Amino acid sequence: MTNAILSLLGFGLLSCTRQLTVEFHHFMFGFSAVAGSSVILFAASAAVILTLPANRFTLPLLICFGIAFRLVTLLPEPFMSSDIYRYAWDGVVQHAHISPYRYAPGDPALTFLRAPNQNLFDHINRRDYAHTIYPPFAQFLFYGITWINASVTFMKLAMILFEGITVYALIQLLPALGRRREVVLLYAWCPLLIWEIGSSGHLDSAAMAFIVLALLARQRQQPIATGLFLGAAILIKFYPLVLFPALWQRKDSKMPLAIAGLATFSYACYASAGRLVFGFLGGYVHEEGMQSGARYFLLQWMQRVPGLGHISVTAYLVGVVAMMGSLALWSWKAGNSDRSSQIAQFWVRWFQLPAGAEFLPGALFLALAMMLFFSPHYPWYLAWLIPFGVLLPNLPIFTYTLGLFYLSATPLGAGTPESQYRLNCILYAALVLACFLELMIRLGYSRVVATGKRSA
């Protein structure tokens, strides 16, 4: 019965994915309708896999559907984002023995590369003024992928293969946490990932793969591997650095040294570019409103509360640093506490974690807090939260990620300051409601278990 229901839901989600590839030009059902239908089908599939029994055919079934979703999106050109063209261009530039950090794509020095790669050059965003923003390990990947084939389709295929690594690592981790392997459906069938990785080929796929490998190495008490995998993730997208306190074990010097060594080697490979190695990072901070405060929803919300309009961007960021520092310290202590401590016992009971996995809640909260404080405008920025939702299934994570995914497909995703503010008001309100429901569900489950034990 489980497999039959999942098959029906899988074909429905496959139909939505197929519609995705033509929706941008035909609008047969409406862009937001396809996104909303995908979320509903995914939610139903998640409910099935979390509540109904599975057999030996269930995992192959959901993996096959997960592959089918990505294959449908592989050949059509990306529409929602053009970032992938920059990935391939950076690789092409490196094969010409030029640092990708030295010139913007539109610089006359790179004119000789345009004609052979016109399709890439024509679609690069910010090509006339922005040097590449991607860190060194990402450049290693671009070089290796374009060495095989310098096309957008092959770059998308590479990002999908990184998803395969993520799925493999999750399947290894889930039994170690006392969970069924079939729960990996929460990743493989997630519409946000199908659209943003399968269709747009975002680099976040590679970062997620190394993040989950780092979590697996940490669970297996392998500090060097943990450091190398986490370091690779940081040198692809920067933001995984926030996970360091949760994964660092007390009195362990191997993990931080592995990260430092990998970072030193990676930046040394591009040292000839000097300060340009940081690329468009400063310009991106300005464009995204991180200096003006337009990026931070919580700051905007507080400024609209009577009596709080005087709060500055600096004050907000100081508060964020203080709160993230406190959360980092708490996460480090929780991950290094023995199971007799109150803090460890609470999260062990809450998430039903086995010994050696006490670090996971801290990693989850650090990642989620960072996204909430900085309120990214693009759904793919939240993709890295999905693996945490697989390992520690909870309603708030999927409400937040899929909420932004759906709302971005509605008129609220138009990108104007006022529409973005209204979008975030709905999104954060939904998240608060999801946290309340999660609390009620957990407390209700605890009462049922306690009643059962008393009856026994």
DSSP 290-342: TTTSTT-HHHHHHHTSTT-TT--HHHHHHHHHHHHHHHHHHHHHHHHS-TTSH
Tokens of 189: 């069938």
So where are the chain's domains? Answer: 2-455
Whole-angstrom Cα Rg for the chain: 22
Contact (CB, 8 A) for 239 and 384 = yes
At which residue do the structure tokens 């050949």 appear?
A: 75
- 366 neighbors 215 (Cβ within 8 angstroms): no
Rounded Cα distance, 386 and 186, in Å: 8
The stretch 49-78 carries a mean pLDDT of 94
Asked whether 32 and 412 are in contact (CB, 8 A), the reply is no
First to last CA, the chain: 31
Q: Is 100's pLDDT higher than 90?
A: yes
Q: What is the mean pLDDT of residues 186-190?
A: 97
Give the pLDDT band (50/70/90) at residue 341. Answer: low
Q: What confidence tier does 340 reach under pLDDT thresholds 50, 70, 90?
A: very low
C-alpha count within 13 angstroms, C-beta hemisphere, residue 319: 12
pLDDT at 22: 73
The two counts, helices (H) then strands (E), for the chain are 21, 0
Q: What is the mean pLDDT of residues 318-338?
A: 87
At 387-421, the pLDDT tens digits run: 999 999 999 999 999 999 999 999 998 778 889 99
d(CA 338, CA 332): 12
Query: What distance lies between CA 327 and its chain's CA centroid?
Result: 20
Average of per-residue pLDDT values in the chain = 90
Q: Which two tokens stand for residue 7?
A: 């098959």
Cα separation, 221 vs 249, in Å, equals 9
Note the helical H segments in 77-189. 83-95, 118-123, 136-148, 152-176, 185-188
- Token pair for residue 55? 């057999």
Residue 322 has pLDDT above 90, yes or no: yes
Q: What is the pTM of this model?
A: 0.93
Per-residue b/e over 178-198, b at no fewer than 16 CB within 10 Å? ebebbbbbbbbbbbbbbbbbb
In a 13 Å sphere around the CA of 439, the CA atoms on its Cβ side amount to 6
Task: Write the pLDDT tens digit of every residue in 344-388.
Answer: 667 677 788 887 788 999 999 999 999 999 999 899 999 999 999
